[in-house]
Amino acid sequence: MYTKFKLFSPQKMIHSLFLINCSGDIFLEKHWKSVVSQSVCDYFFEAQEKAADVENVPPVISTPHHYLISIYRDKLFFVSVIQTEVPPLFVIEFLHRVADTFQDYFGSSNVGDTLPTGQLSNIPWRRAGVKYTNNEAYFDVVEEIDAIIDKSGSTVFAEIQGVIDACIKLSGMPDLSLSFMNPRLLDDVSFHPCIRFKRWESERVLSFIPPDGNFRLISYRVSSQNLVAIPVYVKHSISFKENSSCGRFDITIGPKQNMGKTIEGITVTVHMPKVVLNMNLTPTQGSYTFDPVTKVLTWDVGKITPQKLPSLKGLVNLQSGAPKPEENPSLNIQFKIQQLAISGLKVNRLDMYGEKYKPFKGVKYVTKAGKFQVRT
């Protein structure tokens, strides 16, 4: 009679693993799930500073969202990131196995002596000696709204996916702080490794020494449905008669909440039922196409002017004798709103430390439709 037991699987317990040398350089990282920012190691470095020597660093460190479990072997720290409570000895045993593998591979009792230290920068994402004639820092706040609207106009689902992309052309080694008017509305934030995670957790400020050039600073979600404003509405009447070779199609699109900004680049795409042969429609604005093979209707609306709302209406030709379609098609809508983050996120200020020049700073906002569907 065998006793059942569970094998230890590191990827089920350990989220990420960081290898750190005595100089405090993170020179190797492995992620079994999503990428955890290197800034989580700030908690480890803080504990390391408080310890009298390397042997006294606590093997288990609790942070607001993770546990850090570590060992010190061969002049290296093996730091694992855990998201749920697990038996620490299992993790420590696994880390010792990793250390054994390193020792076998490098053939040295002191692996830390074998690995390079001098070439490793304390800021691996930024090269030294950067110089620009014009010093500039631009940030693009780009939000996509995913939504499902039912036939009565009620919101079934709504979520905002956002990113802040940066273009940094600054001389020297600038240290930046980016603050927001309302940072608490952000959920599920993913950071570039340059972000100091502890500062964000305590103050909701993005503090970082930036890479040179273009990079993604953060990505985030706003998933609380009451915080997601729906910028457009659609009035629709699509009908197919039983035992008839025609139907009616009538849709009007208008601004719902646009915060004084113009909604532009509007396109409505409709996958019509298979029994539809053709469509004879009249748009009050823009132009439409209907592909009788794919049955896809595309209406290129352009931008909305509230004084005259765009509409598309007319007749639908159906196959003679074919049964009436079982359900009406959904409308897929694309749009863009310049100079607006639909979540309400706003940059408060950007401060720079460590350099004496005054850079040019700019922030641009744009909201786009992601998967935006209106059911009819």
Per-residue confidence at 4, pLDDT binned at 50, 70, 90? very low
Clarify whether residues 29 and 62 are in a common domain: yes
Clarify whether residues 237 and 273 are in a common domain: yes
Task: Give residue 9's pLDDT.
Answer: 58
pLDDT in tens, 143-191: 999 999 999 988 999 999 999 999 999 999 999 999 999 888 887 889 9
User: Which residue, chain included where needed, has tokens 């569907």?
Assistant: 373
HSE (side-chain half, CA atoms, 13 Å) at 58: 13
| Residue 111 domain flag | no
Task: Give residue 13's pLDDT.
Answer: 81
| Residue 315 domain flag | yes
> Across the strands, what pairs with 20?
26, 77
CA–CA gap between residue 157 and residue 159 (Å, rounded): 7
| Residue 18 domain flag | yes
Q: Which domain holds residue 324?
A: 232-338
Task: Give residue 293's pLDDT.
Answer: 93
Pair of tokens at residue 142: 């780009």
| Residue 216 domain flag | yes
pLDDT in tens, 36-87: 888 889 899 888 888 878 788 899 999 888 999 999 988 899 999 998 888 8
pLDDT in tens, 268-284: 999 999 999 999 999 99
Clarify whether residues 58 and 187 are in a common domain: no
Region 106-116: mean pLDDT is 62
CATH of the domain at 236: 2.60.40.1170
CATH of the domain at 98: 3.30.450.60
Q: Where are the alpha helices (DSSP H) in 120-219?
A: 197-203
Phi, psi of 49 (to 5 degrees): -65, -35
Torsion of CA 56, 62, 66, 70, to 10 degrees: 20
Pair of tokens at residue 54: 């390397």
CA–CA gap between residue 362 and residue 132 (Å, rounded): 17
CA–CA gap between residue 344 and residue 311 (Å, rounded): 29
Domain count of the fold of the chain: 3
Task: Give residue 119's pLDDT.
Answer: 38
